[in-house]
Structure 1
Amino acid sequence: MTDWRERITVPRAPFIPPVVWVDDAATGGFSAVSRDDDHVRWHELVEADEPIITQVDDGRTPPGATGLRPSSSCSKPSLVADMLDALDVRLGHRVLEIGGGTGWNAAELATRVGPRGQIVSIEVDPDVAAAERQALRTGGYDVVVITADGLAGHAREAPYDRVIGTAAVRAIPRAWIDQAHPRGVIVTPWGTDYCNGTLLRLDVHDDGSASGRCGTNLAFMRVRGQRRDYLEPGDDELRGADRTTTARSIPEFFEMIAYSRAAFAIGLRVPRCYLTVEELAPDHRRIELHDVSSRSWARVDLLRRNEIFEVHQIGPRRLWEEVDAAYGWWLDSGRPAPDRFGLTVAENGDHSAWLDEPGEASWPLPVAAP
C-alpha cells in the first residue's frame, strides 16, 4: 500500500487548531497541548499517522482542565486515505461530507473533484464549523460548510455522487440514501453498540435501497445523535443481581472482545448491547455489557488464576446469555472475519446484515431509524 503522504496532497497542519488534547495517564482523562506552549509536541502530534483530538466534552472543558470524552478530532491520516480510496471520488463529482471537523478532509475532497465539482460539508458543532469555514477560506478551498445535524444530510444541494461520513453511525440515515444519485456510493464508519466499527461502502440502487460489504476496523467517534451510553448499577442493584458462572476460557473471552475475531459478529447478532472493557490490574480484566433502554446490565470479572468466572446480571435482558449464544453462532459459522459480513438498507429504512452474499445468511438489525 502506498504511504498516506503520497495519497493525500493537502497538508494537515493548517487545519489543526492551536490546542489539541492527549491521553492523560495521571487522571484517566485528556489534557491539552498548546501550540504556543509546546510547539515541538504539537507538531509531533500533527505529523504522526495518528488521530488528533481537537475538542473534548462538546467544547465545555477549557485548556488546563481535564477532558472526559473526545467530541471532535482529525482522523488518522492513513485511514483518511483508505476511506477516500473507497469513496472513489472523481473530477466533477458532487460530494456530501458528514462531520466536517477541522476541514482537512473537505479540502482534500475539493482538490479531487476540481473546479467543476462541489463539496458540501456538514458540521453539527457551531464553533467547530466556524473554525472549519475559516481554515478552508484561508487555504483557498471552495467548500460549502453547513452548521447542522449531518444525519439529515443537506437536501438543497442534492443529489450527490458520493456521500462520506467521518463519524461512526449505528443506523444509516435514510436521508443519505435519498440524497445520493442512483448508483452513487456511501462510505462511512459503521458499527453496533457492541463493536464500533468498520469501514462500510454502500452502493445505492435504483429502487432506493443500498447495500455493501464491511471492511477494515475503524475506531471513530459516534455521531452525537447516536452516542452509546452505559449503566452504573447502585449498591442495592448489585446486591440483587442474578449470579451465575461461566467456564469460557480467557482465550475465548479475548475472541469475544476482539474486532478481528468474534466481536463484530456478536454485535450484529446482539442489538443494543454496549461492551466496555476495563483493565483493573495486570491479572484482572472486567467486561461489562449495557443496555440503557431496558436497564439491563451484565459483568464478568476475569482473574488470570481462575478457570470459572462469576457472571452478574441485572434487568429483563440476559445480556451475557445473548452474547455467549452469539459467540457460539460465530464458532458454528466457521469463525467468519468482519469482511465477510455486509449490510443492506431497504427502501423503507429497514437494516439487515448478511454473511458472504446478500439474501443468503441474512437477518434483520433492529436499529432505530435516525
Structure 2
Amino acid sequence: MSSRRYLPTDPWTSEVPREPFIPDRIWVYSEPNGGRDLIEINRVTDPERWSAEVAANVPIITQVNMGKPIEPGETLVPTSSCSMPSLVTDMLDALGPQPGDGILEIGAGTGWNAARLAVRVGGGGHVVTVEVDPELAETALKNLAEFGSTACVVTADGLQGCAEDAPYERIIATCAIRERIPVAWLDQLSPGGRIIAPWGTEFFTGCMLTADADDEGCVTGRFSGDLAFMRARSQLHAFYDYEPAVEVKRSAPWETTSHTGTETLDAVLDPSRARFAISTRVPDLGLTIAWDLFGDRHHSIELDDWATKSWAQLAAHMDSGEPYEVRQHGPRRLWDEIEAALTWWQDHDQPGMDRFGITACPSDGRQWLWLDDPDHSMRVLVH
C-alpha cells in the first residue's frame, strides 16, 4: 500500500492525534499527487472517506475562499489547511524545541501543531499561536481547549508576531513568507534562537528556511527542500499578476531567442537547477506557466512585475527544434534578465539551493541573500 495512506509514526504524531483537530467539512485534492481539483468530503454524510483522508499522510484543506459562502460553479481556492503530516514533522524536527522553551507559531490553522508543540515544551514552557483569520482562530481555540492544551491563541497578523509574550527561543511559521524575514520576528527571537519558515519569492515557489540568531541577534539561515505553503495573508497581494491590455500585448513584437529544445526551460523552471539562483538574482519577478497553450508541448511562460508594469511572454516549443520566441513590454526586459541570470548560474558552477543563504541584522535593519558566505552578497533585500 502507498505510504500516502499512513500517518507518520514519529513521536510528534503519536503524542497528539490529528482527528480531534479536523473539522467535519474538508476538501482534498482529486489525485494523490496533488491534482488541482478539490473534492468536498463531509464527516456526517461520508464518515468512512473522511476518516480515511484524516488518517492519511496528505494535506487536508479546512477552508476555501476565505470561508465565504460558496456559490454554484465557483472556483475553490484553498485558504487554510492541516498540512501534510510528514512535512510538518520535518519542520518540527528542524525547529528542535526543548522543555521550557517559549514558542511562537504563525498560522494556528486547526490548532494541531500548537498542541504538539505545547506537549513538547511542557509546563515550564509556553506556546503562542497567532492566526489572522478570526473564524480560524476561534476554531483553533475551541480545539485546543477541548484537547486540554495550554497553547494560547492570538488573533492578529502573524508577521507582527506577539510582542506581549516575547522573547521566544523558537519561531515557526506554517504560512510562507516572501523574501524578507519579518522584522518583528527578529526583534522577538531570543539570542541563540531559531526560526523555521516556508520561504519563497514570486519566481520560486518555496523551500524551508532554517535560520539561527547569534548572541547579538543577527540571524543567518540556509534553504532546503521543496515545499509550498499558502502565503501569509498580508502578503497575498504580491501574487496578483500584472496583465497588460490586449492591444498592448499585440503591439509587442515576437522576437527569436537563441534557445531551443528542453534544456533551457528545464534549467529555468527546475528548483533543483537554476530556478532558485535566478530568484536570488532577479527581484520582483512573477511567473505564470500555461502548459500546451500554443499546442502539444508548446508552452507559454509569462513574467511580470506589477510595480514597473513590465511583462514578457515566452513561447517555447519543446519538440520542433525551432528557437523560442519572446515578446516583452515595459521598462524591464524580463526575459533578458532571466537569460542574464541563467548565464551567471552557468558561469558559476551551477550553484544549487544549498549554497545560498540569508542574513538579517535587526541592529541596522539590513537583510541580504548570499552565495556560500554572508560576505558574498547576491541581492540586498533591505538596505
TM-score class, shorter: over 0.9
Aligned amino acid, residue 309 of structure 2: R
- Structure 2 partner of 1:183: 192
Mapped pair 1:297 → 2:308: no
AA at the equivalent of 1:248: H
Residues 1:234 and 2:281 aligned together: no
Distance in 1 of aligned mates of 2:142 and 2:123: 19
Matched position secondary structure for 1:4 = coil
Q: 1:313 aligns with which of 316, 328, 341?
A: 328
Contact 1:87–1:185 at 8 Å: present in 2 too? yes
Match of 2:17 in 1: 11
- Can you give the 5+ residue segments of structure 1 that lack an aligned partner in the other structure? none
Aligned counterpart for 1:70 among listed residues 78, 92, 111: 78
Distance in 1, matches of 2:63 and 2:241, equals: 22
> TM-score, normalized by length of structure 2?
0.89
Q: Is the 8 A contact 1:31 1:65 kept in 2?
A: no
**Aligned-residue offset at 1:23:** 4.1
Aligned residue among 274, 283, 289 for 1:262 = 274
* 1:216/1:339 contact within 8 Å kept: no
Q: Distance in 1 between matches of 2:359 and 2:381?
A: 13
Deviations 1:139-178 (A, max 9, x none): 1111100000001100000010101111110121111010
Q: Is the 8 A contact 1:31 1:64 kept in 2?
A: no
Secondary structure of the residue aligned to 2:63 is strand
RMSD across aligned positions (CA): 2.1
Distance apart, 1:236 and its partner CA:
0.7
1:14 and 1:147 map into 2 onto residues whose CA distance is 21
Unaligned runs of 5+ in 2: 1-6
Q: 4+ residue stretches of structure 1 with deviation over 4 A?
A: none
Distance 1:77 1:63, change over 3 A: farther
CA distance, structure 2, for counterparts of residue 248 and residue 41 of structure 1: 48
Q: Work out whether residues 196 and 208 of structure 2, in 8 Å CA contact, stay in contact via their aligned partners in 1.
A: yes
Aligned 8 A contact 2:280 2:379 in 1: no
Measure the CA separation in 2 of the matches of 1:365 and 1:22. 39
Alignment of 1:120-159 (within 5 A): 120-159=128-167
| Residues 123 and 148 in structure 1, CA contact (< 8 A), matched pair in contact too | yes
Alpha-carbon distance in 1 for matches of 2:44, 2:298:
41
Which of 285, 292, 295 matches 2:299?
285
Moved more, 331-340 or 123-132: 331-340
Distance 1:234 1:340, change over 3 A: same
Contact 2:192 2:217 in 1 (8 A): no
Seen in structure 2, the aligned counterparts of structure 1 residues 208 and 175 have a Cα distance that, compared at 3 Å, is same
Q: What is the CA distance between 1:60 and its match in structure 2?
A: 1.8
Q: 2:228 — aligned with what?
A: 219
CA-CA distance at 1:304 after TM superposition: 2.8
How far apart, CA to CA, are the structure 2 residues paired with 1:213 and 1:248? 32
Q: What CA distance in whole angstroms lies between the structure 2 residues aligned with 1:12 and 1:121? A: 17
Q: How many residues align?
A: 364
Give the secondary structure class of the aligned counterpart of 1:261. coil
TM-score, normalised to structure 1, is: 0.92
| Corresponding residue number in structure 1 for 2:380 | 365
Structure 2 counterpart of 1:273, one-letter code: L
- Alignment partner of 1:101 out of 105, 109, 118: 109
What's the offset of the Cα at 1:298? 1.2
On the 8 A contact 1:16/1:46 being kept in 2, the answer is yes
Say whether 1:114 aligns with 2:119: no
Aligned residues of 1:32 and 1:63 also touching (Cα < 8 A): no
Q: Contact conserved, 2:371 with 2:378, CA < 8 A, in 1?
A: no
Separation in 1, partners of 2:157, 2:229: 17
